[in-house]
Amino acid sequence: MSTVAASAPPAPQAFKSDYKPIWCPGCGDYSVLTAVARAFAILELRPENVAVVSGIGCSSRIPAYTTCYGFHGVHGRALAAGTGLKIARPDLTVLVAGGDGDGYSIGGNHFLHACRRNVDLTYIVMDNHVYGMTKGQPSPTTEPDWNSKLSPGGTGLRTFHPLVIALAAGANFIARAFSGDPNGTAGMIAEAIRTPGFSFVEILSPCVTFRPEQREWKQQVRPAPVASTDDPGRAARRIITDDGFNIGVLYKGNRKPYQPSMGTATKRLTDLEAGFAI
Amino acid sequence: MSAGKAPTTTGGKGRPGRTPRARNRKEPVAKSSVSDEADFLARAWTMEVEAAERYSMLADAMHEHNNREVAELFRKLARIEQLHAEQLLEQNLTMHPPVLPPGGIRWGAGEGPETADPGELHYRMQPYHALQIALACEKRAQSFFAGYARDATRAAVRKAAREMAAEEGEHVRLIEEWLKRTPPPDKDWEHDPDPPAPSD
């Protein structure tokens, strides 16, 4: 391997801001931040050409911890904001980030339609099967028999299967990563960004505070035993029978991204604001 | 489970058990295909720098959660690793860090051998736990360089790898000594009288 490059692109550290994460010690999101920074460095991006957009939740703090442009939006609406941004500024690399509650419950509707629209952006979901920030309520991916003080005996509800939904709704790239392997996760995020269209990466990211048993995920995850496919039927059969611990790119399609022509603005922002004045 | 193991959690909600999971971590495979001394230096230097950056991150995490004692220990470990990185450059008569490929060195599996896993942290961990994490890192580094020394085809790389393995072996010994001087954790070290989980 040659370590000599013509010029030095930003190192991963260049994508990390001076703000110190306040995630719980042991949280998987630390490694996801490392992976995101490394993915940007692998792609030789520059912070000023990247926007990280999020909703609400522990994982949605991530934009502040990067040196990229950031938008910490409202609960569940990260994809709406990210889609608008990418349509208006197709030159930017847009990474939308959040958690399972933000993305699959409050933002579930946006998730469906972001997959369907297939705008060229990447969505990473740090899935810990719980609402951590609000102290441990079950989320859409929580197991039905997870017994806790806030859900005695478990919810009894079928879990949401984000990869199946993403495939059915039209996402062009579907992968699962594990925060315990930040380099593998970085490679997957980089591939997701490189792939045109809507790319979805579910990242298993343990919540050590409210789901301490998730520390065992490290022993449970495994590389998917099959290579990526561009056949949605084959991918569907694989994903529907998947136990949630297969790591890898599970589907990579060829759909053309949605990018409408924006034309030129006919009104100034101040004119639009004036229209809303009371 | 005996006190003094790295603070990890097993089983049911809210009661962390302790298993030294650092031992289960896959080690990056030493590549005998290293082309020359420059490549070797790049890997060795990256290993130390990544270890230093990670210890700094762990120190910040513990500081944010008001575990100042462990934060300071991680900070000290970060300084030591940074010093190693600088020594490596000095030994190789250069002031310039190696030029790395975009995204840095790709290790065979997972992260660099000397990089601690942030998943090992617990907000109530004690210095003994932190040193155990450091010990596992140094042992992985020693084993990594020993593998290089065994497999490298170029004599200069073999020699450098042997030296690094010996140096990491010395670090293992120092941390073991450090551990002997460090009080083992209290039996109920993870007990939090005001736990973050909701209570009745």
Do the beta carbons of residue A241 and residue A101 sit within 8 Å?
A: no
Give the nearest chain A residue to B190 (CA atoms).
A209
- Looking at beta carbons, which residues of chain A come within 8 Å of B59? none
Q: Taking CB atoms and an 8 Å limit, are B123 and A31 in contact across chains?
A: no
Question: In whole numbers, what is the pLDDT of chain B averaged over residues?
Answer: 82
Confidence of residue B27 (pLDDT cuts 50, 70, 90): low
H-only helix segments in chain A: 29-42, 78-88, 100, 108-117, 162-169, 182-194, 217-220, 232-240, 269-276
Model confidence over B125-149: pLDDT tens digits? Answer: 999 999 999 999 999 999 999 998 9
With beta carbons less than 8 A apart as the criterion, state whether A33 and A17 touch: no
Return the CATH superfamily for domain B34-181: Ferritin, core subunit, four-helix bundle (1.20.1260.10)
Question: Are the beta carbons of B109 and B25 closer than 8 angstroms?
Answer: no
A275's CB contacts (< 8 A; 6+ apart) are none
Long-range Cβ contacts of A259-264 (<8 Å, 24+ apart): A259/A87, A259/A90, A259/A119, A259/A120, A260/A87, A262/A87, A262/A88
B42 closest CB neighbour out of A3, A27, A190: A3
Contact B111 A211 (CB under 8 A): no
- What percent of chain A shows pLDDT beyond 90? 88
Alpha carbon distance A96, A90 (integer Å): 14
Q: What is the pLDDT of residue B34?
A: 52
Candidates 3.40.605.10, 3.30.390.30, 1.20.120.450, 3.40.50.970; CATH matching A27-276: 3.40.50.970
Contact A20 B60 (CB under 8 A): yes
Q: What is the pLDDT of residues B156-193, one digit of tens each?
A: 889 989 999 999 999 999 999 999 999 999 999 999 98
Can you say how many angstroms the Cα of residue A152 is from the centroid of all Cα atoms in its chain? 30
pTM of the entire predicted model: 0.89
Nearest CA in chain B to A14: B103
User: How confident is the model at residue B35, as a pLDDT?
Assistant: 59
pLDDT digits (tens, 9 = 90+) for A23-73: 999 999 999 999 999 999 999 999 999 999 999 999 999 999 999 999 999
Which stretches does DSSP call E strand in chain A?
50-54, 69-72, 93-99, 122-127, 130-131, 137-138, 173-178, 199-204, 222-223, 246-252
| Domain boundaries of chain A, sorted by first residue | 27-276
Main-chain dihedrals φ then ψ at residue B157, nearest 5 degrees: -70, -40
Which of B111, B120, B133 should be substituted to probe chain A, the one whose Cβ sees the most A Cβ atoms within 10 Å? B111
C-beta separation of A126 from A205 below 8 A: yes
- Tokens 């990229």 belong to which residue? A68
